[in-house]
Structure 1
Amino acid sequence: MRRQGTLRVRTQDKGAPLGDLFGIFFEDLNHAADGGLYAELVQNRSFEFDPVDHPDYHALTAWEIVERGQGRANLTVEDERPLNPRNIHYAAIDIVSEGDGVGLANRGFNTGIPARQGERYRFSVYARRDASFEEPVRIAIERGDGTVLGETIIRVDSSEWKRYEADIVANATDNGGKLTIVTKGTGKLYLDMVSLFPAKTFRDRPNGLREDIASLLAGLKPKFMRFPGGCLVHDGSLDPDDRDSMYRWKNTIGDVAQRPARRNNWRYNQTLGLGYYELFQFCEDIGAKPIPILPAGYDPHHKRIVPIEELGPWIGDALDLIEFANGGASTEWGRIRAELGHPEPFGLEYIGIGNEEVGAPFFERYEYFHRAIKEKHPEIKIINSSGPFAAGGEYERGWKSARDNRSDLVDEHYYQTPEWFLAHAGRYDGFKADDPKVFLGEYASWGNTYYNALAEAAFMTGLERNAHAVALACYAPLLCNADYVNWKPDLIWFDNHQAFGTANYYVQQLFMHHQGDRLLPIEASGFEAAKPLREATPIRGTIALGTEGSSVHYSSIRLVNNATGETLEYPDVSLDQSGAGKKQIFELGAADGDDYTLHLRARKDGGGPRGFNLYFGWKDDRNHLNWEIGGWQNQDSIIHSFIDGRGSVLTQSLFEVENGVGYDLTLRISGRSVQASIDGTLMAETEDKIPLIEPLYYTASVEEATGDTIVKVVNVRDESELAAMVLESWPGKGPVTVEAHILSGYRPDEANSFEEPARIAPKTKTLTFDGPSFDYEFPNHSVTVLRIRG
């Protein structure tokens, strides 16, 4: 235990309001909607899967033919007489020989259709047949060996499309079942929109949400929910009727059978069954303010751009969405909302235009959206974008746009190492109160261990402490289906029958449950000084040149020691990884000085989209820095720092490498500072900071409804810290009660899992002290919330 310091809270000196600070972000990646939060158990229910979604997909993905006894049938997918023009494919079962029954079966998601003993499941289907109208159609949930877990019967009594419903009660528990649909007779049976939902959904809503996942989200008590993304907002065709269109909210409301299937840019199909109405409704159910994000007619992934003169319908979509959310039942879109079952407005306060956008075309278009929305709805807070990185040219372009347009908020995104978060815990200390507010719309450290959660908690105290500048923040991504992983880390993991919150989840929960309403000043004194996480030496190590999937040539290579003037020259280097998609690295040698510059000329001769890689501070493949020029989709110039295989983007700017063009590259390393230039133009200037670990990270607030003083304290160090807690101007007399919520006692590498879902979770204890000054020991590696009341 270190020497005792003091944490002093001025309990009557109320500061900036905390408002809607901590919330959540929902994006349909990692099968977060279909196969996840959306409770539908049938995969490919409308036979609309297509190679445009994923190269392995086809109209019968997740389906198989069923032929029992001597039964024989032909299973095809047709489109001659569709259910509706937006859902044109359907299954046709041509009964060749009825035997003991023929039909089809659906494998569901993950290990199959989950059934739980005693639970009720609601089956529905659109069907028609051309003969044998009195012949029953048997619907069952079955094990792989054919054992029936529950069944029901319908009769398809029409040659026209008709919706049929029935309930199934499970007689046993099994997480690997199939949904089977079997009939006898003659002719053809046609099926579309085959659906199976648990009868018990969150709030018992039809077309509802999976109760366990939704309950975990509700259990966070978020102030807001941002949706529907993420990159899927703007990645796609400009035509709303295209299968691979951008996410257009009007396609996601109304009868689910009328909603068009959509290519999800995370390489799967999106039914849109969980659409804007359901998302607004879920926000209302859990007390979270909705924050919808809309495209601005620009796809930075594929350079699709709506001409300025054709932006009208896109701006109209934004205005119509506000009317859908807030308009009275007499308005066009308010009436549609009321007809869907919600006559009262949803109370929309925020709207975002664009998602982590880069490039001039977006910011040119943003102005038109901003102006139109403010003219008609000045009460709505508009969120601008600052790209996917924490610093650099596009980040600054976004902030300039926000200041020029007087945006209410700026959406910042970054995924970094835990060490980066610790090094930047004071990132927002210098931000101004009269600037647009920060919306930290996506952030996470790389991992779901306890160490990641600790680093994020330390960083979150800085978010809260700077509530004058930071208005909103949400960890991302939110959900991950363990068998369909596009991205990790994630806040909540699940499969087809269970879900758990990570250590990161419980940190977020502590901050949301105990946010408070206004900041209180809190000051530390008497603690030891901050100490570097590791020795703060200059960036030294091997210099190397590389490429990834391209053919490149490096020439005129020289390394200059700026302190001594010593120059090392190297022969030309040619690397050819065209089409291989793998890194190739050529080591030049060590750079041992404190201030040195690498000069070279680089030319790309062909191959994949990526350009050049200059590695420095190289220790091994998991620990180094690099300058990537012509990075992701040949768009970026990025300085990366890698620690234990996890990367941080220190700064980014746009840059495209042209084949056959020579570029003069200059990379200067001075101490831990980095400067990078292309053809004499400065592209990057940054610092790879070594974290200075404070004895404690802390913040304080007051909750107006209860009068509680809330103190949050994070101890990242290996030893506990004893603090004298002093509550200045405490209004009461006599004893104080301290309700302590604590995460502690875990190794940094520990994590929750399906086997141990609550291995890491907060514990609560109640303490009583004689007065408003008392000693409290904060354990090593801990997150502590103290709720103090008289």
Structure 2
Amino acid sequence: MQTGFAPSNNMPRRHSSLLRATAFAAVALLVYSPFSNSQTKPAPVEPAQLKIDSAKIVSPVSPMLYGMMTEEINHAFDGGLYAELLQNHTFRRSWMGIEHWDLVRNGNAAAELSSDEHSGPSKALPYSMKIQVTSASDGAEAGVTTAGYWGIPLKPHTTYKGSFYAKVDSDAPITAKLINDKSGASAGEAKIDLKSGDWARYEYTITTGQIVASTANHLVLTVARPGTIWLQAASLMPPTFHNTPNGNRIDLMEKMADLHPKFLRLPGGNYLEGDRLEDWYNWKETIGPIVDRPGHQAPWSYYSSDGLGLLEFLEWCEDLKIEPILAIYAGYALGGKHIEAGKNMEPFVQAALDEIEYVTGDSSTKWGAERAKDGHPAPFPLHYIEIGNEDWLDKSGSYDSRYPQFAHAIRKAYPQYKLIATTPVKTDHPEEQPDVIDDHYYKPPAEMMDFVHHYDNAPRNGPKIFVGEWASMSGSPTPNFGSALGDAAWMTSMERNSDLIILSAYAPLLVNINPGGMQWSPDLIGYDGLESYGSPSFYAQSLFAAHLGDGTPESSISGAQERFFYSATVGSSDHVLHLKFVNASTIEQPLTLDVAGIKASGEATVISLHAASFEATNSMSDPKQIVPHTITRPVGSAPWKHTVPPLTIQIVDVPLH
């Protein structure tokens, strides 16, 4: 996640709220001012002349152009995509106690809750939550309760899978109940018989009945007799996408599938580095059973459970039938410190080589065998490896020595992969030159529209470009239609320059809209515990990715308004000319289209995304205010007329010979 709005704007992350406030004020002046005279009828506009020769392909379109970037921000993983419903499920303690867990003492039960720092089920979790019950009986139970992340979301007739590690000093049944906050009624319960002895894992299921879907629920674990119980690594999982164990939320995965992505950049952004050197994404601590994952401090203020670890990232890609772009840690922390290249960096270079082997190695390799032991014998596909993240933030210049050390080792072991650098690298050795440079852009919509020619005349003889993070910055928690127009304008530029820009990903992808859930706005997809919605920018990106050819035809336009943007691509397999029109003006844009190579008479599909103002948007209460609408219209080989309404993003698919 970039800290400014463009690579040249490298201010500290702590000032990002001030930057956004200033940028939004600029948006109000530069973009929204046309509405001040909205009652004045605009003068007629002469048609712009758009000429396209669909048979003359001037440059290729990257088949990997549109993908996704993710990181642990806005409760994107814990409390978001990762389906786990229990917050602080490993019972980490702060000065406030065991956060998000409370003692239960029904009736006249007597019990104490504490953290035992000397007893736990694994090396990763050597501590536990200790419940000492001195008095309890039927109707006067004692135990613990949690409301998860802003309440536990429950749906009717749904099975929830629970588990925990426990140790008890004597045999005892424990009852798990899901209870409605308002009524106090049980939505379902299960009894689990705990056996005295060493640590053991216990499982249970609870199936709800005819309840009203709600997030206003909590989990209670209680006993009805005296004794001491130690608990660790608790879990409560709803049904997951494709029923993947320890998997992801169904609705969020479905929305990501609707984006038609080709890749996922993982683990992504600042999450790779952390604020301190000790907070780096140590992937080896994110694999294997949950009980063997200690978690780590993430850079956006809260702790990451690492329940969504490296294998879950890769299975996320597999579930969506896309491939990973693997970002490896390269020795820099957001606080400004770095590891010196050379001997001190060698363990991290080896960790990167091991990580690549875990992803791609067969089961005869050391780390391929570990992946098979974790439940996935088959290797995952991989073509791109990114070394570090936003290393232009490193003012020491150490990336010029850190990057080559990784590049040399990776190219020697894995010469088949393309390497992505996060900033231009100064090196005289050809084998250390990156194949791709990762550029990031966060701009107000007006600036994004003015930026569309940035790559038009860029050199084509150097590394390719990955626009690894980008967004038009207007709207909260998700983009408004002004941002969608800025995004769409920028996407026409990326399509036009896709011989150079081979990869791109909007960021951030996800946001939990509950109070305290968001650290950055705007974000593409919003959600609470039960539901989710796509922003106007979500629909714009879905349309652009779904209607993309593999070649850019020769084209020219004259007489168009300043804030009218277009792109044209041709599909060699579907024989369709995919036109994208973006009218960010408050007046319509008439066109005369002269298109060579289309049928003498045919029918085009026209898909429009429109809003009445820049501020119009979607929300949890009105998720479908702005959605695409489809019509068909006749087209022919002779020049034909077409009008793009004001404030409209439009796809026109024209059949070819």
Q: Structure 1 CA distance, aligned partners of 2:336 and 2:97?
A: 27
Q: Which among 607, 610, 632 is matched to residue 741 of structure 1?
A: 607
Q: What secondary structure, in the 3-state scheme, does the structure 2 residue paired with 1:299 have?
A: coil
| Counterparts of 2:268 and 2:357, CA distance in 1 | 21
Pair 1:704-2:572 in alignment: yes
2:54 is aligned, of 5, 11, 18, to: 11
**1:718 equivalent in alignment to 2:586:** yes
Shift of 1:710: 0.6
Residues 300 and 34 of structure 1, relative CA distance in 2, 3 Å threshold: closer
- Whether 2:559 is the aligned partner of 1:522: answer no
User: How far off its partner does 1:377 sit?
Assistant: 1.4
Alpha-carbon offset, residue 210 of structure 1: 0.8
What residue number does 1:758 align with? 624
- How far does the alpha carbon of each residue in 1:560-595 deviate from its partner, in whole angstroms, 9 at most, with x for none? xxxxxxxxxxxxxxxxxxxxxxxxxxxxxxxxxxxx
1:148 and 2:186 correspond: yes
2:588, 2:65 → 1: CA distance? 29
Deviations 1:425-454 (A, max 9, x none): 101111122211111111112121101110
Instruction: Indicate the SS of the match to 1:719.
Output: coil
Aligned residue type for 2:168: R
- Amino acid aligned to 2:136: E
1:322-354: CA deviation from partner (whole Å, max 9, x where unpaired): 222221221111222222222222111111111
Instruction: Give the Cα–Cα distance (whole angstroms) in 1 for the partners of residues 93 and 547 of structure 2.
Output: 44
Does the 8 A contact of 1:113 with 1:176 survive in 2?
yes
- Give 1:190's aligned residue: 230
Contact 1:237 1:304 survives alignment (8 Å) = no
Q: Offset of 1:300 from its aligned partner? A: 4.4
1:40 correspondence with 2:80: no
For structure 2, which runs of at least 5 residues remain unmatched after alignment?
1-43
Alpha-carbon distance in 1 for matches of 2:634, 2:202: 62
Distance 1:399 1:785 in 2: 39
Question: Which residue identity does 2:230 align to in structure 1?
Answer: Y
Residue 146 of structure 2 is aligned to residue 94 of structure 1: no
**Which secondary structure does the structure 2 equivalent of 1:247 belong to?**
coil
2:368 alignment counterpart: 334
Structure 1 counterpart SS, 2:153: strand
**Pick from 293, 297, 316: which aligns with 1:263?**
297
**Contact persistence 1:403–1:435 (CA under 8 A):** no
CA distance in 1 between counterparts of 2:164 and 2:334 reads 39
Map of 2:20 onto structure 1: none
What secondary structure does 2:175 align onto? strand
Structure 1 residue 363: deviation in Å?
2.3
Aligned-residue offset at 1:745: 3.7
C-alpha separation in 1, matches of 2:250 and 2:308: 14
Name the structure with the higher strand share: 1
Match of residue 317 from structure 1: 351
- 2:341, 2:405 within 8 Å by CA — same for their partners in 1? no
Distance (Å, rounded) in 2 between the aligned partners of 1:64 and 1:318: 41
Cα distance, 1:735 vs structure 2 = 2.1
Structure 1 CA distance for aligned equivalents of residues 622 and 184 of structure 2:
32
For residue 12 of structure 1, give the secondary structure of its aligned residue in structure 2.
Answer: strand
Higher mean displacement: 400-409 or 227-236: 400-409
1:495 aligns with 2:361: no
Return the offset for 1:36.
Answer: 0.3
1:406, distance to aligned residue in structure 2 (A): 2.3
Displacement of 1:319 in angstroms is: 1.6
Alpha-carbon deviation of 1:767?
2.1
Partners of 1:399 and 1:316 lie apart in 2 by 21
Q: Does 1:72 align with 2:110?
A: yes
| d(CA) in 1 for partners of 2:441, 2:426 | 19
**C-alpha contact (below 8 Å) 2:175/2:221 kept by paired residues:** yes
Match 2:68 to one of 12, 15, 24: 24
- 1:178 CA drift (Å): 0.6
Distance 1:326 1:704, change over 3 A: farther
When you count helix as a share of all residues, which structure comes out higher?
Answer: 2
Q: How many matched pairs?
A: 597
Q: Please name the residue that 1:571 is paired with.
A: none
Are 1:408 and 2:441 counterparts? no
Q: Which amino acid in 1 is paired with 2:298?
A: N
Tell me the equivalent position of 1:611. none
Instruction: Supply the AA of the counterpart residue of 2:523.
Output: D
Distance 1:765 1:36, change over 3 A: same
**CA deviation profile, 1:518-549 (whole Å, cap 9, x unmatched):** 22222113x25x5xxxxxxxxxxxxxxxxxxx
Question: 2:634 matched to which residue of 1?
Answer: 768
Q: Give 1:139's aligned residue.
A: 176
In structure 2, what residue type is equivalent to 1:7? L
Alignment of 1:227-238 (within 5 A): 227-238=266-277
Cα displacement (A) at 1:771: 3.9
Contact 2:83 2:248 in 1 (8 A): yes
Farther-moved stretch of structure 1 (467-476 vs 165-174):
165-174
In 1, Cα distance between the equivalents of 2:629 and 2:82? 31
What is the SS of the residue equivalent to 1:511? helix
**In structure 1, distance between residues paired with 2:429 and 2:80:** 39
The partner residue of 2:495 within 460, 464, 476 is 464
Q: Judging changes above 3 Å, is the alpha-carbon distance between structure 1 residues 92 and 772 closer, same or farther for their aligned structure 2 residues?
A: farther
Structure 1 residue matching 2:398: 3-state secondary structure: helix
The Cα offsets for residues 107-165 of structure 1, whole Å up to 9 and x where unpaired, read as 1112x11111111111111112112x1x4211011022531111111110232111111
What residue number does 1:566 align with?
Answer: none
How far apart are 1:252 and its partner, in Å? 1.1
Larger RCO: 1 or 2 (CA < 8 Å, sep 6+): 2
Equivalent residue number for residue 23 of structure 2: none
Report matched runs for 1:281-320 at 5 Å. Answer: 281-320=315-354
Q: Is the 8 A contact 2:157 2:207 kept in 1?
A: yes
CA distance in 2 between counterparts of 1:59 and 1:259 reads 21
Q: 2:265 aligns with which of 222, 226, 240?
A: 226
Considering only CA atoms, is the larger Rg found in Structure 1 or Structure 2?
1
**CA contact under 8 A between 2:341 and 2:402: conserved in structure 1?**
no
SS at 2:60's partner residue?
coil
Task: Decide whether the 8 Å contact of 2:400 with 2:425 is kept in 1.
Answer: no
Inter-CA distance 403–775: structure 2 relative to 1 (3 Å threshold): farther
8 A contact 1:10–1:728 mirrored in 2? yes
Q: SS at 1:776's partner residue?
A: strand
SS in 2 for 1:138: strand
For 1:175 and 1:741, the matched residues in 2 are separated by 36
The amino acid that maps onto 2:578 is I
Q: Distance in 2 between matches of 1:727 and 1:18?
A: 23
Distance 1:403 1:477, change over 3 A: farther
Alignment of 1:80-479 (within 5 A): 80-99=118-137, 100-110=140-150, 112-131=151-170, 133=171, 135-144=172-181, 145-171=183-209, 172-173=211-212, 174-198=214-238, 200-238=239-277, 244-357=278-391, 358-359=394-395, 360-386=397-423, 398=424, 400=426, 405-447=432-474, 448-479=479-510
Question: Quick one: distance in 2 between partners of 1:401 and 1:761?
Answer: 48
The answer to whether the 8 A contact 2:65-2:503 is kept is yes
Mapped contact 1:49–1:269 kept (Cα < 8 A): no
Mark the CA change 1:236 to 1:86 in structure 2 (over 3 Å): closer, same or farther: farther
- C-alpha separation in 1, matches of 2:341 and 2:555: 52
Query: For the residues of structure 1 that align with 2:612 and 2:164, how far apart are their CA atoms?
Result: 49
Distance in 1 of aligned mates of 2:581 and 2:154: 44
Aligned to 1:511: 544
Q: CA deviation at 1:400?
A: 4.9
TM-score (norm 2): 0.88
**Match for residue 30 of structure 2?**
none
CA distance in 1, matches of 2:324, 2:550: 19
Task: Check the 8 A contact 2:300/2:519 in 1, yes or no.
Answer: yes
Q: CA deviation at 1:6?
A: 2.1
Aligned-residue CA RMSD (Å): 1.8
